[in-house]
Amino acid sequence: MVPAPSEQHGDVRRLVLDAALAIIESDGAESLSMREVARRAGVSHQAPYHYFGDRSGILAAISEEGFTGLAQAFRDVHETEMPAAKAGFIAYLNFAREHIGHFRVMFRNDICGVTTHASTAIAADCAFDELRLMVARITGPSIDSETAHTFAFTLWSHAHGLATLVIDGPLPNKIPPGTNLEDQIHAVIDLSSQMVALKAAEMGLVPHGH
């Protein structure tokens, strides 16, 4: 059966995005070209332009998709009984490792489209809002806005740094001989989450459920 036009549209659009993600994962965002995307997707050279306008449109769509997925990963943290800080670190790292192509684009302000594509900016804001809700599980609801932002940025910075070191950095080659990489990663997560929780306790903040 011949797909309906809307289905054809969705199929081609998805093929283009998947091809772009494969290029970014294997060769980096700088290697992305419309011609190579079309070749890998098995579509006409004009198809990527038709659906996304230009290279920046593809990158913005990838970023939007990434931020939407990250927001869902943060929402899923609310369903776990694990301490919020640790669950947040794990959720962030798992997202980055499972979506390397998205992760390599969505925090690059020079290419991700947050400043030029409204829907991408909205998705990024939603992801940060979910991060702040997760922080409220660590600090409790009475925290002032400025301190809440500080906790959110701290959690984000630690998680993003770890994810970057694991994916694109030297961490796998810097662990002590005989040390399991995953054990080292979880040791870092444990220490970082404990630091965040201890700071909250030091400030007299009371998390939900305590």
One of 1.10.357.10, 1.25.40.80, 3.20.20.80, 3.40.640.10 is the CATH number of 63-202, namely: 1.10.357.10
pLDDT of 135: 87
First to last CA, the chain: 58
155-179 pLDDT, tens per residue?
Answer: 999 999 999 999 998 877 888 888 8
Give the burial class of 131: count Cβ atoms within 10 A of its Cβ; 0-12 exposed, 13-18 middle, 19 or more buried: buried
Query: Does pTM surpass 0.85?
Result: yes
Neighbours of 199 (CB within 10 A): 16
Secondary element (H or E) of residue 191: helix 181-202
CA pair distance 64, 58, nearest whole angstrom: 10
pLDDT of 206: 60
Residue ranges per structural domain of the chain: 1-53, 63-202
Q: Could you tell me the fold of the domain covering 1-53?
A: Arc Repressor Mutant, subunit A (1.10.10)
Task: Decide if pLDDT at 144 tops 90.
Answer: no
3-state DSSP assignment of residue 32: coil
What is the chain's alpha carbon radius of gyration, rounded to the nearest angstrom? 20
CA pair distance 24, 16, nearest whole angstrom: 12
> For residue 207, what pLDDT band results from cuts at 50, 70 and 90?
low
